Amino acid sequence: MYVGIKTDPNYPLGEFRGSTASRALQQCDVAVGNVPGVMAERVAAELRRFERSITQRMAKLDAACPDGASDAATIADIAELAAFAHGEWVRIHPFADGNGRTARILGSWILLRYGLPPVLRLRPRPSSADYVRAAAQSMANGDHRLMREHVLDQLSRQFGAS
């Protein structure tokens, strides 16, 4: 994920903000534009909540469609889960850097898990207005509907799924 990315060799890559691995991370608050991420001291708790929620959502989706995407309603449910995973990661912003790439990996992994192609490009960062608007909405208030619509649109455009 960090190939070609210049990083400080002393920086603890892979550690979450709020971590005791370094003083810089303990107090590392971030923002995208003028929208702040979760405060560093809340990251661990938010990640535990995220893990519980995504585990429950995946179990429900696994039970509902054990063979993956089969119809438009199932595809919409899968897109919603991918949007949730992407959007919550962006909203929590657990790393000091690399959150967008990680969010797109999570969303794409969910699509692949259920037999759909990945439509969230890792690099370069997607720059379409709808992607940027959707990510900003997720970051600002945890509303992932625009990201769901973006994923569905990309599936439809690129692969004929609906």
Per-residue pLDDT of the chain (162 residues), as tens digits, is 556 667 666 666 678 888 887 777 888 888 877 888 899 999 999 999 999 999 999 999 999 888 877 788 889 999 999 999 999 998 999 988 888 889 999 999 999 999 999 888 777 777 778 888 888 888 888 889 999 998 999 888 876 654
Q: Do the Cβ atoms of 19 and 73 come closer than 8 Å?
A: no
Residue 28, sorted as left (phi over 0), alpha (psi -120 to 50) or beta, turns out to be beta
Could you tell me the fold of the domain covering 23-159?
A: Fic-like fold (1.10.3290)
Give me the residue spans of the domains in the chain.
23-159
Report the distance separating Cα 73 and Cα 36, nearest Å. Answer: 34
What pTM, to 2 d.p., does this model score? 0.85
Q: Which residues are catalytic?
A: 93
What radius of gyration do the chain's Cα atoms show? 16
Burial class (CB in 10 A: 0-12, 13-18, 19+), 81: buried
